[in-house]
Structure 1
Amino acid sequence: VKLKDKMRKFNSKLTGTLRIVSVEDADICTCCGTHPPFTGMLGSVKVIRHEKHKGGCRVEFVCGRRALLDADAKNSILLSVAASLSVKPEQVPAAVSKQKNDLLAQLDIAKSKLLKIEEEKLQETYAAAPVNADGVKVLALPMEGHDAKDIKAFLPKVTALKNTLSLLLAVQPERISYAVALGADTAGDCRSVIKLLNEAFGGRGGGKSDCAQGGADYCADWQEKLQSVVEKLK
């Protein structure tokens, strides 16, 4: 077997004498770099990262002055973060992890309180919801500051309502998520409603006849668009 047939990549346009670098059980390729007489000329060799790539492993490294500059830059970042957290450099990973967990816990508490507010608002919205020609209440419930996961968690609240078609809208600075659900003993097809929302918001979504979900990029006139869909359903 020719050596070039064993290589991962071979440029057929290459001519003349070629230098081939072979790393046993790793790789064989043509050499295209500077050839120092001994490796000590390279100075420090620092492997920055490695990752799986197309059945192999991609390795990124820096040598010599670049290795020193990379280490110096990262050390400065580490010291800066350590100072801001008031910990020693070696304690930064644990401090960051703790701060992240504390933040997530506070977010969970905040979301829980927001969902309780939405539950209270649900009763008022349900009482004032218009009734369509089929005698079904069309309930539109905007949930500002929430996301798609919050909508999913809130769905059981609206599916328990009898004779109701509910439209839930989670509004965030960059994204709007929405869901449509039928209440208990309510006839209808949520897929047709999700199409109306997709058209109004320029989004994408789908689902089943009793429940469907979708989303779109944030738009400042989301209230008007939601109301236009409700008017069509009325």
Structure 2
Amino acid sequence: MTKKIFLEDVLQRSSEAVVTDCVELKTGFGIVLDQTVFYPEGGGQLSDTGKLICGDREVVVTHVRETEGRILHETAEPLSVGTQVLAEIDWQTRFDHMQQHCGEHLLSYGFWKICGADNVGFHMSPEMVTIDLSREVTSAEIAQVEALANLHIQENRPIKAEWMEAEKAAKCATRKFNDKLTGSVRVVQIEGSDACTCCGTHPPMTGMVGLVKIFKAEKHKQGTRIYFLCGRLAMEKISRCWQELSGAVQLLSIKDEEIRLGVERLQDEIKELKEKLSGAELRWVQEKARQLLQDTPLTDGVKSIILQEEDISADAARKLAQVLSEDPQAEVTIYYSSGGRINYVLASGSEVKVSCRERIKAINERLGGRGGGKDNFAQGSAEVR
């Protein structure tokens, strides 16, 4: 069994090790070591990455997972059993993960303490970290929890990881304890704050988390999903958001604190322009329909109207087809370009015998497109060739 150094010393960045097995995977290989500093993905936390160094050779470790009690260091190339290596983690990745995971504990404690909401789900990705809560929480409660988490970070409270019997762990836990756990379990305790069972990596002091920033909250099932980042990743996202906001402020020629008012003003202006455009579009549709019906001759009891428009919206094309089909003898086909595709709308008056469903099938076959509809109306599109 591989000795898990990462559970004993989260700050250790490398260790000597011996290859005890090399498993061929679907893509690449899984290297098993007698001891490792690499944390395998699990419990919502991403795995470490890094490299295995043997002499002048460096084998990159892209992912680590634990399967059937064995820790597999995933690589693109194999290593022979008995090979001595220096296992070295990517420290920045480890530190980022420790910041996120510790921040999750601080927030989970806050939501439990302030809101009575339990953490029922935790997921970490390279872009964002999420917590799923057992009940809905308000924006005011979220602000309180974020403030408490950052206060505990600023106070630089010590963090201790300790193995203990499940019975003792149940008494130490500040949040809900899993009664199904038995035997020896690992408890992570933040002084005066969170204490729960956890096999993840955490810094020795809360100050190393830097900060916690909640970016979004949304309803999820019967509760709330919280989106957040900590430390370096939080600062990077805040900086990117601030650059975008600063650019918007300059474009709108407003003060920083007026960004919301500026956006609301733009929304009002856009709404007004859309209403004017819609009115102009309707007038165009009515006039265009009148001209087409007037200029199209009746042949074998049908007014076959085929129209190709370059500068027309999808909504205008549908409206025009509907207005034209109010004439019982109109057989309408409208082509227009949008989104890099050629689009077509078909409509038929009540006295036209050939259905739009049959006509669009023929057009799809000819143009290699897709779409469908009813006997009196259909629409589809195809790639421009």
Compute the TM-score of the two structures, normalised by the length of structure 2.
Answer: 0.45
Query: Could you tell me which residue of structure 2 aligns to residue 192 of structure 1?
Result: 358
Count of residue pairs brought into register by the alignment: 207
CA distance 1:90–1:185, change in 2 (3 Å): same
CA distance 1:118–1:150, change in 2 (3 Å): closer
Compute the displacement of 1:43 (Å): 1.6
Name which of 13, 28, 51 aligns with 2:68.
Answer: 13
Compute the displacement of 1:131 (Å): 5.2
1:159 aligns with 2:325: yes
The superposition leaves residues 131-175 of structure 1 with CA deviations (integer Å, 9 ceiling, x where unpaired) of 55x431211133433333223333441122132211123433534
Amino acid at match of 1:160: E
Checking the alignment, whether the CA contact within 8 Å between 1:82 and 1:88 is kept in structure 2 is yes
CA distance 1:130–1:108, change in 2 (3 Å): same
Query: Could you tell me which residue of structure 1 aligns to residue 211 of structure 2?
Result: 44
Q: Which structure has the larger Rg over C-alpha atoms?
A: 2
Q: Which moved more, 1:141-150 or 1:52-61?
A: 52-61
Query: Could you tell me which residue of structure 1 aligns to residue 199 of structure 2?
Result: 31
- Structure 1: where are the runs of 5+ without partners? 1-6, 221-234
Query: Could you tell me which residue of structure 1 aligns to residue 250 of structure 2?
Result: 83
Amino acid at match of 1:174: G
CA distance 1:166–1:204, change in 2 (3 Å): same
CA distance 1:70–1:8, change in 2 (3 Å): closer
Q: Distance in 2 between matches of 1:8 and 1:56?
A: 19
RMSD of aligned C-alpha atoms? Answer: 3.6
Name which of 307, 312, 327 aligns with 1:141.
Answer: 307
1:209 aligns with 2:264: no
Checking the alignment, whether the CA contact within 8 Å between 1:8 and 1:27 is kept in structure 2 is no
Q: Distance in 2 between matches of 1:145 and 1:101?
A: 25
Compute the displacement of 1:102 (Å): 1.5
Structure richer in strand, relative to its length: 2
Amino acid at match of 2:332: S
Checking the alignment, whether the CA contact within 8 Å between 2:289 and 2:320 is kept in structure 1 is no
Q: Distance in 2 between matches of 1:137 and 1:108?
A: 32
Q: Which moved more, 1:186-195 or 1:199-208?
A: 199-208
The superposition leaves residues 11-70 of structure 1 with CA deviations (integer Å, 9 ceiling, x where unpaired) of 543459xxxx9868325886343x322212222122334557799876543333443343
Q: Distance in 1 between matches of 2:256 and 2:307?
A: 48
Query: Could you tell me which residue of structure 2 aligns to residue 70 of structure 1?
Result: 237
Compute the displacement of 1:113 (Å): 2.1
- Structure 2: where are the runs of 5+ without partners? 1-42, 46-64, 72-101, 113-117, 122-196
Query: Could you tell me which residue of structure 1 aligns to residue 283 of structure 2?
Result: 116
CA distance 1:99–1:139, change in 2 (3 Å): same
1:169 aligns with 2:224: no
Q: Distance in 1 between matches of 2:277 and 2:242?
A: 36
Q: Secondary structure at the match of 1:146?
A: coil
Checking the alignment, whether the CA contact within 8 Å between 2:285 and 2:319 is kept in structure 1 is no
Q: Distance in 2 between matches of 1:177 and 1:160?
A: 22
Checking the alignment, whether the CA contact within 8 Å between 1:50 and 1:59 is kept in structure 2 is yes
Q: Distance in 1 between matches of 2:245 and 2:227?
A: 21
Checking the alignment, whether the CA contact within 8 Å between 1:178 and 1:214 is kept in structure 2 is yes
Q: Distance in 2 between matches of 1:108 and 1:177?
A: 25
Compute the displacement of 1:105 (Å): 2.8
Checking the alignment, whether the CA contact within 8 Å between 1:169 and 1:176 is kept in structure 2 is yes
Checking the alignment, whether the CA contact within 8 Å between 1:122 and 1:141 is kept in structure 2 is no
Amino acid at match of 1:186: V
Amino acid at match of 1:26: N
CA distance 1:201–1:56, change in 2 (3 Å): farther
Q: Secondary structure at the match of 1:81?
A: helix
Q: Distance in 1 between matches of 2:298 and 2:361?
A: 20
Checking the alignment, whether the CA contact within 8 Å between 1:188 and 1:210 is kept in structure 2 is no
Amino acid at match of 1:93: R
Compute the TM-score of the two structures, normalised by the length of structure 1.
Answer: 0.69
Amino acid at match of 2:229: V
